[in-house]
Amino acid sequence: MGYKRIQPLFIGLVFGFMFLVASLGNKVNKNPIKASLAII
């Protein structure tokens, strides 16, 4: 029951982290998709 409450927060955290990495990668090499895929 506790896991179902935490799961949406965890998914949001992962997507937020991916967005942050993509925005940083966009500044570095202008390719945010490749940068975010490299992290996964």
Tokens of 39: 């992290």
Between 1 and 25, where is the model more confident? Answer: 25
pLDDT tens per residue across span 16-27: 888 888 777 666
What pLDDT was estimated at residue 20? 84
Q: CA–CA separation, 34 vs 30, rounded Å?
A: 9
What is the Cα 7 distance to its own chain's centre?
15
pLDDT at residue 6, rounded to an integer: 83
Q: What are phi and psi of 30, to 5 degrees?
A: 60, 25
Per-residue tokens: 33: 């998709």
- On average, the pLDDT of the chain sits at 75
Percent of the chain predicted with pLDDT > 90: 2
Rounded to 5°, the CA angle 17-21-22 comes to 115
| Per-residue model confidence (pLDDT) at position 18 | 84
